[in-house]
Structure 1
Amino acid sequence: MISIKAIDHVVFRARNMEAMVRFYEDVLGARIERQVEELGLVQLRAGGCLIDLVDCAGRLGQRGGAPPGVEGRNIEHVCFRLDPWNGEAILAFLATHGIPEAEIAQRYGAEGYGPSIYLADPEGNVLELKGPSRELDS
């Protein structure tokens, strides 16, 4: 039987690796764990999971065809569970990184309904930052 416990890793194909690495480090607090230059791969640690960035011009990235763009994405979105959660502080922090349009909404996730924020990284990948679940008013 298969029982998924958490996100292990997600892989994003990137046109601009420098901008992507900077975003995931500076905005979301991930840290580079491993780089494999001959493959065009950077792996960033995000809590218990990894975010893999694959350069579209690199050996691995070329396997995926055309780079992500206006006509399509390589992924719908990835949700990261945040702990601790301070929604207003997160919004203020995102604004300092040029993401002022973010807003908090109640959405359903793995733990139930709770606050979440949607945003996009520099390549247009949609991300959801999720807070703890809260019981709905009956």
Structure 2
Amino acid sequence: MSAAPVPFSLVGIDHVVFLVDDMPSALGFYYGVLGCQPGYTYPALGMEQVWCGSALIVLWDITHPGAGNAVPPVAGGRNVDHVCIATGPFDHDALRAHLGRHGVEIDREAMHGGARGMGHSFYIRDPFGNKIEIKGPAVYPDGRG
């Protein structure tokens, strides 16, 4: 199937927005557990953006008066299954220990495909129940990785 031409070219994911209800807890997780860096801040909206490599994760506090448009239309409704964060090579035991020190449970580990090929993934949740996949680089049958 051939796609119709579009008037733009795709570059990659720019940002993902997560709805949260405790900004200090959210920032603690994304800075302390995932190592994200401070991004843009929008205090009038109750919004903080954190850098995740070259993409942004937007944290929007639904308890903030400026976040009226952020409240999900259905109470408790989900609008994102998970976000996959691509990483460089890592020691699996060291990651398990790091997550444990922060009280973050690993939902599961798996070998999954992605934009960079088959790689080892750890699935965790942030303090608000958002599922995060931490995915290492591709592992090849010949041992390259």
1:30 to 33, 36, 44: 36
Does 2:58 match 1:52?
yes
SS at match of 2:67: helix
Q: C-alpha separation between the residues in 2 aligned to 1:24 and 1:104?
A: 20
Give the TM-score taking structure 2 as reference length.
0.81
Q: Secondary structure at the match of 2:29?
A: helix
Q: Could you give the per-residue CA deviations for residues 43-80 of structure 1, whole angstroms, max 9, x where no partner exists?
A: 111111111111102355321334997x4323110000
Equivalent in 43, 46, 49 of residue 43 of structure 1: 49
3-state secondary structure, aligned to 1:117? strand
2:97 matched to 1:118? no
Q: Which has the larger radius of gyration?
A: 2
Task: Return 5+ residue gaps in structure 1 as ranges.
Answer: none
2:118 partner SS? strand
2:104 to 80, 99, 106: 99
Q: Which residue type is aligned with residue 96 of structure 1? A: R
Residue by residue over 1:107-132, the C-alpha shift from the partner in whole angstroms, topping out at 9 and shown as x without a partner, is 11112211000000000000000011
CA distance in 2, matches of 1:117, 1:68: 29
* CA–CA distance in structure 2, aligned partners of residues 114 and 88 of structure 1: 16
Using the aligned pairs only, state the percent identity.
Answer: 37
Between the aligned partners of 1:101 and 1:78, the Cα distance in structure 2 is: 15
2:131 maps to a residue whose letter is V
Determine the structure 2 residue equivalent to 1:61.
67
> What is the aligned partner in structure 2 of residue 82 from structure 1?
87
The 1-side partners of 2:62 and 2:113 are apart by 33
- For structure 2, the 5+ residue unaligned runs are 1-5
On the 8 A contact 1:13/1:68 being kept in 2, the answer is no
Q: Is 1:16 matched up with 2:27?
A: no
Aligned-pair Cα RMSD in Å: 2.3
Q: Which has the higher contact order (CA 8 A, sep 6+)?
A: 1
Q: Conserved in 2, the CA contact under 8 Å of 1:76 and 1:126?
A: yes
Query: Which stretch has the larger CA shift, 3-12 or 120-129?
Result: 3-12
Post-superposition shift, 1:81?
Answer: 0.3
